[in-house]
Amino acid sequence: MTKQQIDWKQFNSIRLTKNFMLKEFAVTSANYGEVKEEQAAGCLEYQENLLHLCQFILQPLREYIGKVTVTSGYRNPVVNRIVGGSENSYHMRGMAADIITDENMSAFMYIKRWKLYTELILHKTFIHVALKPVIKGEKLSYSVLQDKTK
Ligand SMILES: [Zn+2]
């Protein structure tokens, strides 16, 4: 893989939605000293997918439940291998995130109520969620998200 030139100042300033910055999706538990550039480059490459993930799931969840911490967002293939991710992991396309909230069970139930996810797993300490692939031209409806009465 060729070394990519990342303009860190610019990269660190990219905001996806009100409470989510692009750089939050470059984090990983893997020791990524050597692949940091690749993580950032991947975030830029899949920025649109990450934006959708925020718009349709993470930001509404943030507004519902409070602080949402991303522990793993985009993963380049090296990182994905290190953390033992599945071969076709949605993380590698910026379509999935592992998140922690103060109330993971409530967060899980909230995401579960609408049908915009393709993967939703409540782990012991975090939630894995992957957004339904957005088909070009298709408009995802999230009116149900705004229904907080149920
Ligand atoms: Zn995951």
Identity of the residue numbered 70: V
Q: How far is the CA of 2 from the centre of ligand 1 (A)?
A: 26
At 114, the pLDDT band (50, 70, 90 cuts) reads confident
Q: Which helix (H) or strand (E) holds 85?
A: none
Distance, CA 26 to ligand 1 centroid (Å)?
Answer: 13
Residues 6+ apart with CB under 8 A from 104: 122, 125, 126, 127
Could you tell me if residue 135 is left (phi over 0), alpha (psi between -120 and 50 degrees) or otherwise beta? beta
CATH number of 21-134: 3.30.1380.10
Spacing, Cα 93 to ligand 1 middle (Å):
12
Q: Is the dihedral of CA 19, 25, 27, 30 positive or negative?
A: positive
Residue of 136 and 28 predicted with greater confidence: 28
Which pLDDT tens digit goes with each residue over 136-145? 666 665 544 4
Calculate how far, in angstroms, residue 88's C-alpha sits from the geometric centre of ligand 1. 12
Across the chain, mean pLDDT equals 87
Domain extents for the chain? 21-134
pTM of the full predicted structure? Answer: 0.86
Q: Write out pLDDT tens, residues 116-126.
A: 899 999 999 99
Place of tokens 């030139």: 5
Q: Tens of pLDDT along 63-81? A: 999 999 999 999 999 899 9
Distance 142 CA to ligand 1 centre (A): 22
